[in-house]
Each structure stands twice: as structure tokens, then as C-alpha cells.
Amino acid sequence: MQHFEHQVAVITGAAGGLGLALAHHAASLGMKLVLADIDEGALAVAVQGLSADGTEVIGVRTDVSDPAQLDGLAAAALQTFGRVHLLFNNAGVGAGGLIWENTANDFQWVFGVNVAGVLNGLRAFVPLMLAQGEPAHIVNTASVAGMLAAPLLGLYNASKHAVVGISETLYNDLKLAGDAGRSVGCSVLCPAYFDTGIADSERNRPDTLHNHAPLTSSQSAMQVQLNKAVKSGNLSAAEIAACTFDAVRENRFYILTHPAIMPAITLRAEDIALARNPSDPFTHKPQFKPA
């Protein structure tokens, strides 16, 4: 995609953090917006703010883990604007602690949003993008956690590794779809720490998936370290959004917004290539290592 004005963007997890930053950047380029989020109140505030600035925008309360709700989101986008040119599968949540201390509820919640949410988005939107025959692009939000395996983030790491794998497969699948597939690009967004709001994602956990036991010491330690890390990030959500749109314009697949993390990614790739035991992922950033 080279041109954004008057095009239609769909963004999940759009009521705050990176999703809201993507929405504001898209609006600054003259795009029409379909915003989705599970937090209906925050979504209404986001829609009202963008609309007041003159953006054509609708909000659709959406639980991305529910396939039917993604179908409804696609239907609302088509009914309102008739086309979808840019899809951000951006909604995400996290749970931490020693991996054996994560509960079945943790697993269902994290994988339901982070993995099923992306797959549901692709299933609902890729066919209509292909049928349009117009330039389009898909951005799946992963994380550097999709390329590293830091301790105390087992479920989150696994879910984001899945998003990277899904996105790489999507890239190759689109090549098999002929001329229609060549009109649709895709990228995977892998930022490092920045203040995105994911440290507070527990606020949107469904009641049926809440844990009733208190946090373990490892889960509490991870929460403290995560809050510290996201607050220390040297890029804002707005800057990440700008980098993302640059990558879409350039049809760049891997969106790696924090160059300082590359030595850690390279070290892990070398471990795999040389069949070495895993290195400490915090070798180059020891200040972020949880106690």
C-alpha cells in the first residue's frame, strides 16, 4: 500500500495503547476507521475523540477470541464503508510467572486473544481483501517475545511465537493465491518494551477466566519488572505507530522497532543454528532481568 487517504483501516485492541496510536496515525493520513475493542466504554471515548476531529469512524465492541464477533466486525466494516484496505490484528493480553504456575484459565485467555484473535481476524478479512482486487495490507502485532524466550513469560512468549509463525505462513500463503494474493501484503510487528498498556491487560479478563488464588511470588515479581520495563521504553506508542505505517508503505514484513534488541535475537538464532543450549536472553539488557 502506497496511499492511505480515503482507505479503510480496521484495528483491534483500538481503545488504548498501541491500537489507539495506530488509529490516530491512520486518521492523520485521512483514513476511515473501524475500531474494535472489548472495553466498550474506552472504545466509545476513542470513537468520540476521533470523530470530533473529523475522522469517519465507527466502533464495534469485539471479543477477538470469538469467531462470530470477528465475522460481525467484518460485516460492520463492509456495511459502513464497503471496503477494507488495512487490517491491524493488534489486540493482545499477557500473563506472567513461572510457566508451571500458569493456570488453565491463563492459557485459555492468553491464547484465545493473542493467537485465536489473529486467526479469527485473518479468516474474517483475508477473503474479502482478496476479492476486492485492490492494494491491501495486514499487520499482526506480535512482540520481540515472538523471537526470544525470556523467563517468567512462558505463555506470552509462546503466543507471540505463534503470531510470528502464523504471519510468516500468511506471507507465503498469499504468494500461492495468484494475482489476488499479490495485491495483499502482510507484516509482523515485533516491538520491544514501550508503554502500551499490556501490563494492565488483566482489567479486561473475562470473569469466567479469572484466577481466584492470589498471585505467586514469581507472578508478582514479573508484574513489578514488567511495569518497570514498559515505563523505561525509549519509544512512545505514537512512534511505534509511525514506524508501522512506514513499513506498510515499504511492504516490509518484519517490523523491528527497537534496534538495540537485535543482538539478543541474533544470539538466539546462533544458539539454534549451532545447536547450543539457550543463552540468557538478557545478556545485552541485564537491567530488565527479573529477580
Within a domain: 236: yes
Q: What is the CA radius of gyration of the chain?
A: 19
User: How many independent structural domains does the chain possess?
Assistant: 1
Rounded Cα distance between 83 and 2, Å, is 17
- Backbone φ and ψ of 91, nearest 5°: -60, 135
**pLDDT-based confidence at residue 85 (cuts at 50, 70, 90):** very high
Within a domain: 157: yes
CB 144 within 8 A of CB 191: yes
**pLDDT-based confidence at residue 230 (cuts at 50, 70, 90):** low
Within a domain: 276: no
Positive or negative, the CA dihedral 211, 217, 220, 221 is negative
The average confidence (pLDDT) of the chain is 92
Within a domain: 278: no
pTM for the model: 0.93
Within a domain: 268: no
Within a domain: 180: yes
**Domain holding 167: CATH number?**
3.40.50.720
84-122 per-residue burial string, b: 16 or more CB within 10 A, e: under 16? bbbbbbbbbbbbbbeeebbbebbbebbbbbbbbbbbbbb
pLDDT (tens digit, 9 = 90+) per residue, 124-171?
Answer: 999 999 999 999 999 999 999 999 999 999 999 999 999 999 999 999
Within a domain: 174: yes
Containing structural domain, residue 12: 8-261
Within a domain: 277: no
Mean pLDDT (whole number) for 2-20: 96
Question: Catalytic residue positions?
Answer: 156
